Amino acid sequence: MSSTRPQRKATKRLYANDGAPTDLDVEMSEGEQQTTSKSKGSVDKGKGKSKTTKSKSKRAAAAVASDEEDELDSGSEVEQPTKKRKKTTKKKYQRKNGKQKKGKLELISTLPVELLAEICTHLTPGDLLALSFTSKAFRSLLISPASVSLWKASRRSVGLPDLTAGDMTEAQYAHLVFGTHCDICGCKETKLADFSLRKFLCNPCRQKNWVKLTWRLEQDLPHLHPKARLLTLKTPHSAVERRWRSWAHEYGFLPDLEAISDKLWELDPKAPADADGSEVEEDAELLRELLENDETHESTPTRTRQPRRPSMYGYRAPTVGEGSSLADDGDAEAEGESEAEDGDGVVEDEDSEKRRAALEAFVKDREELRKKAAEDGKKILDAVLELRKAARAEMANKSTKKWFAGYDRRATIKLKILDELKDYEEEDFINAPLWYSSKLINEGGPVTDESWEEIKPRVVKLLARIKAQHEETDRVNEQQARQRALLPRYKKLLDIQPNKESRHSLPLFDDFLHLPSVKELWETDEADPEDDEVWGEHLDAIIDELDEYRLDVRLQAVQTILAATTEMDEDELDGDVDTFGPDSYDDEWLARPTSFLVCSLPDCRDQNQRRYHHAGTFQAREPRPTFFGSLPDLLAHQHEHHSSVTFTDKQRKKREEEGHVGHYHLPPLVVSALSSIIELAGVKDEEATVDQLDELTRNSPPTFSWNITGLPAYLEWENSPSSKRYYTRWTELIEEALKQSEKAAKSISKRLLEVPTIVLHDRVADKEERQKERAKKRKWKGRKRAKRGGGRRRPWDYDSD
């Protein structure tokens, strides 16, 4: 019976920089395997993998049959049947004139290898990397050992330093700096790699696999070897920041930590225990008795667990000089000999000696690699930042030259138009976006008499489009003037409402303008919106449409809440006011926290803290989070902060197609987070109130006192997709859930978010628990001190001999 390390889930990710092939190595080694396929005869040229035994037997049988045919008739030649070409339904690309477009890359494949190599010397490492993924021929050329000089010359031409660690090939180096895909998920949302860890990851993968290399790592991940964090590659950049270095903490890559931990568990014959105390001592004594009575365990090399010594923060593993086999000093050897003489230890055999030697070599190599990789990471980061700075400067220089060239060309064409075309004046070129954005006008170099005659017909067509744009602009300006004339009438409708609830239930001004009866007053110039008679003719229809708007907003709100919080399908939600009206879902139902809605208007979240001068003092306006509340409060918020919001024709058309009336939504992540918070409060969903949720994270007393009884509790979002996990108010957690929902919806990969796991931490209860743990530690310390005879022996307690 032997003590083993804690079990954990197996991982497919190998630790980096220890000879294990990465995905890039496997993909790039296909070209090398292809070059050796003739000598081996067992490599599939199409995929670069060895064929199965079945294919080998078929090939051998075919070879025997061909030998027999050669013996029967050596003079005859066997004609192999030609393979039929695979039919395809794709049509070849053809130009408008009917001629087929010729491929430009076909000429490159016909060039000699020497000429291709000379061309590659003038490319950047990013270009070589992209070229190596175009075809197998280029991959075999660029990944072969003979092409290392090409990569080095290309890398040095852009100013990238040489690596001293020697843990990456030139192709891997190029992928680290100029890569475009994440090493884990393969998405293209990565902007900058971490050069100390040799990883090119996107933000979600960084958040998931980045760990802080502190003493808490052994408590959070107990399955890791205690010395794994001392041998893994480290980086000063956290999962969030990638430009500025953090001098307080160091970070590591979790898959590398797990792989190095597996290697250490394999090589280290001893392992620390999980805790210290009476239970561990009893288990150790029981283990010794079993080992003494069982001869099979004495002959088999085992790995025993040493108890970890307590610390002020809990239990931690012994250091290098205390209990781990990584310590190779005289004290450890003396303790081992004494344990062997007493019969308490395990006799080391030849295998353990080999493991010890392999462990020392592994530790030495990892320490050296870790030091050099950190130095290389700093040099690469500085070089990459300089490259980006130079690229931005070059881009700005090109943009400036392009602007001046376009300005000269545009001025020349303008003079020729005014001289030759009498229908255009100087005012026609003012406020004409198409004139300043057209490539025909702004690109193409200086304008000569010959080039002007060539482009003149196209310029005339462009001028006709510009004139049409001017007419459309004039029409829109007239409509906006008529819309502004309706603003006083809209405000009068707000003032005549009997109460605030009725006033807030009216649509916003932009929504009011698009009511059918109101739209007739400003869309055309047939009706004058300032005429009282015309307004009186449309007033009854406008009031009816306002009442219908109120019902539609409430109906859509109830349907949105039920669709997010229940399992009702679309057929069940497809009802009218009679089904989802106030009789079934009253105002009390809408006031529940489970019926809260999120404002969907743009710029609802104001993250800037603005300061302004008022009455001789400077006052600050606090940042405004995205509104989350009941439907009446939501409508009041929109009239207060979004009364002047406007929508484009495209946005308005999209809302009409989707059938949206109100400006609110309810993301699933927010519903899950709110449900977890209500569950932590210990109340039912239909009985929960805002006051109960506020009481969940109670605040400390406003006045200072030495006898504080109500310490604030806080919430922890354990699987948060961001680095922020702790919140003192439940509304702050809901705001973070809204941010993550918006971020996931805008991402290219459309990543899915996990169901939030939220934990409530009561500081009073945590304080009492820590006091109990300290008392327990002092109790076991006293027992151990009494067992040793009154305490730990000091150097002066020993005899003089």
Contacts of 121 (CB under 8 A, 6+ apart): 150, 153, 154
- In this predicted structure, which of 63-67, 670-674, 763-767 has the lowest mean pLDDT? 63-67
- Torsion 234-236-241-247 (CA) sign: positive
Amino acid at residue number 91: K
187-to-240, 320, 750 alpha-carbon distances in Å: 18, 41, 10
Question: pLDDT class for 716, splitting at 50, 70, 90?
Answer: very high
Give residue 167's pLDDT band: very low, low, confident or very high (50, 70, 90): confident
pLDDT of residue 242: 58
Angle between helix axes 449-485 and 350-420 (nearest 10 degrees) is 90
User: For 624, phi and psi rounded to 5 degrees?
Assistant: -105, 120
Whole-number mean pLDDT of the chain?
76
Question: Phi/psi class of residue 245: alpha, beta or left (left: φ > 0; alpha: ψ in -120 to 50)?
Answer: beta
Mean pLDDT of all residues in 669-677: 95
Q: Among 6-20, 139-153, 194-208, 386-400, whose mean pLDDT is lowest?
A: 6-20
Looking at residue 276, what is its pLDDT?
39
Q: 116-149: per-residue pLDDT in tens?
A: 888 888 888 988 988 888 888 888 888 888 888 8
Retrieve residue 544's tokens: 């009816």
pLDDT of 789: 57
At 241, is the pLDDT very low, low, confident or very high (cuts 50, 70, 90)?
low
Question: Does 554 score more than 60 pLDDT?
Answer: yes
- Compute the distance between CA of residue 493 and CA of residue 543 in angstroms, rounded to an integer: 9
Q: What angle do CA 555, 557, 561 make, to 5 degrees?
A: 120
Residues 152, 160: Cα–Cα separation, whole Å: 9
Q: Note the pLDDT tens digit of each residue in 79-106.
A: 445 555 555 544 444 444 455 555 555 6
143 in Cβ contact with 132 (< 8 Å): yes
pLDDT at 321 (0 to 100) = 38
User: In this predicted structure, what is the pLDDT of residue 771?
Assistant: 84
- The residue among 218 and 280 whose pLDDT is bigger is 218
Six token digits for residue 12 = 């497919």
Widest Cα–Cα separation across the chain: 120
CA distance 525 to 530: 12
Of 18-27, 218-227, 336-345, 663-672, which has the strongest mean pLDDT?
Answer: 663-672
The secondary structure of 663-712 as a DSSP string is SEE--HHHHHHHHHHHHHHT--TTT--HHHHHHHTPPPPSS--SS---PP
User: What is the DSSP code (8-state) at residue 238?
Assistant: -
pLDDT-wise least confident of 222-236, 538-552, 700-714: 700-714
Give residue for tokens 């070409």: 85
State the pLDDT confidence band at 526, using cuts at 50, 70 and 90: confident
Identify the top-confidence range among 98-102, 187-191, 194-198: 194-198
Q: Which of 307-321, 592-606, 780-794 has the lowest mean pLDDT?
A: 307-321
Q: Computed from CA positions of residues 438, 439, 444, 448, in that sequence, does the dihedral angle turn out positive or negative? A: negative
- Strands 610-614 and 305-306, by their bridges, are unpaired
Task: Examine the pLDDT at 774 and tell me if it is beyond 70.
Answer: yes
Rounded CA-CA distance 254/495 in Å is 62
Asked if 661 contacts 651 with a C-beta cutoff of 8 angstroms, the reply is no
Amino acid at 37: S
Tell me how far apart the alpha carbons of residues 52 and 196 are, in angstroms, rounded to a whole number: 41
Which two three-digit tokens encode residue 628? 């989350």
User: How confident is the model at residue 104, as a pLDDT?
Assistant: 59
DSSP 90-111: PPPPB-TTSPBPPPSTHHHHTS
* pLDDT band with cut points at 50, 70 and 90 for residue 389: very high
Tallying the residues shown for the chain, one arrives at: 801
| Distance from C-alpha of 424 to C-alpha of 644, rounded to nearest angstrom | 38
On the question of pLDDT at 693 being above 80, the answer is yes
**DSSP codes of every residue in 427-464:** GGGTT-HHHHH-HHHHSSS---HHHHHHHHHHHHHHHH
Under 8 Å between Cβ of 176 and 198: yes
pLDDT at 402 over 50: yes
CA distance 186 to 172: 16
Q: Are 756 and 669 in contact (CB under 8 A)?
A: yes
Q: Which residue's structure tokens are 């003489």? A: 341
Residue 47 has φ and ψ, to the nearest 5°, of: -120, -15
Most confident among 15-29, 256-270, 535-549 (mean pLDDT): 535-549
- pLDDT (0 to 100) of residue 616: 60
Identify the DSSP state of 320.
T
Tokens (6 digits) for 603: 């710029």
For residue 209 the two structure tokens come to: 């696999």
The pLDDT of residue 509? 96
Q: What pLDDT sits at residue 266?
A: 86
Q: d(Cα 194, Cα 200) in Å, to the nearest integer?
A: 6
Q: For residue 437, how many C-alpha atoms fall within 13 Å in the half-sphere facing its CB?
A: 6
Helix or strand or coil: residue 212?
Answer: strand
Give the tens place of pLDDT for each residue, 211-221: 888 888 877 88
Radius of gyration of the chain (CA): 38
pLDDT of residue 737: 95
Local confidence band at 183 (pLDDT 50, 70, 90 cut-offs): confident
Percentage of the chain modeled with pLDDT above 90: 33
Name the residue among 85, 68, 89, 69 with its Cα closest to residue 77. 69
Where does 606-646 have alpha helices with state H? 631-641
pLDDT for the residue numbered 188: 78
Structure tokens at 402: 């392009």
Q: Which residue has the higher pLDDT, 231 or 280?
A: 231
Does 257 or 41 have the greater pLDDT score?
257
Q: How far is CA 783 from CA 119, 283, 733, 777, in A?
A: 78, 17, 46, 10
Contacts of 108 (CB under 8 A, 6+ apart): 116
Q: Which two tokens stand for residue 334?
A: 């003396």
Joined together, the tokens standing for residue 430 give: 């003012």
* Cβ atoms within 10 Å, residue 397: 10
630-634-637-638 Cα dihedral, nearest 10 degrees:
180
CA atoms within 13 A on the CB side of 376: 25
Q: C-alpha 576: how far from its chain's center?
A: 42
Say how far residue 277 (Cα) sits from the centre of its chain.
Answer: 43
Residue 628, pLDDT score: 95
> Both tokens of residue 362?
């592994």
Most trustworthy range by pLDDT among 459-473, 615-629, 775-789: 459-473
Of residues 7, 313, 184, the one with CA closest to residue 751: 184
Distance CA 578, CA 595 (A): 19
Coil/strand/helix, residue 135: coil
DSSP codes, 196-217: TTTB---HHHHHHHEEE-STTH
